[in-house]
Amino acid sequence: MSGQDQVIMAAQDIAFSLRQIGFDTVDRTQDADMVVLFSIGTVRYDPLAGWIADRAFIEFKDTKTGSVVCSIKANVQFITPTINTLVKKLVSEVKRYY
């Protein structure tokens, strides 16, 4: 599995988690009120920790105006986090606000 595959799985995990807390997803951007943009830092494999990345954040953008409604960063301290940890932190932060 590649780093790109890991990023795709992380985006799918975020979408699944957002649906679990009440967000609806659509297939076409034109049908959405908002889009969620997912960004992650350099993804690399660590033999001890697994797939890690430096940072991750998501932005909620209004599709009509293009303005950013909310921006959330996964704050993880001390060690370079795994991709799974970053996803969990992002979803946890979204739950705090919505």
Residue 18: exposed, middle, or buried by beta-carbon count in 10 A (0-12, 13-18, 19+)? buried
Q: What is the mean pLDDT of the chain?
A: 92
Give me the pLDDT at residue 35, please. Answer: 95
pLDDT over 90 (residue 13): yes
Q: Which pLDDT belongs to residue 54?
A: 87
Q: What predicted TM-score, i.e. pTM, was given to this entire model?
A: 0.85
E strands, the chain, in order: 34-40, 43-46, 50-53, 56-62, 68-73
Mean pLDDT of 74-82: 82
Torsion over CA of 47, 49, 51 and 57, rounded to 10 degrees? -150
- The mean pLDDT value for 2-22 works out to 93
How far apart are alpha carbons 11 and 47 in whole angstroms? Answer: 23
Contacts by residues 88-96 (CB-CB < 8 Å, ≥ 24 positions apart): 89/56, 90/14, 90/56, 90/57, 90/58, 91/14, 91/17, 91/18, 91/21, 94/17, 94/18, 94/21, 94/58, 95/21
Mean pLDDT on 27-45:
93
Mean pLDDT in residue range 36-52: 93
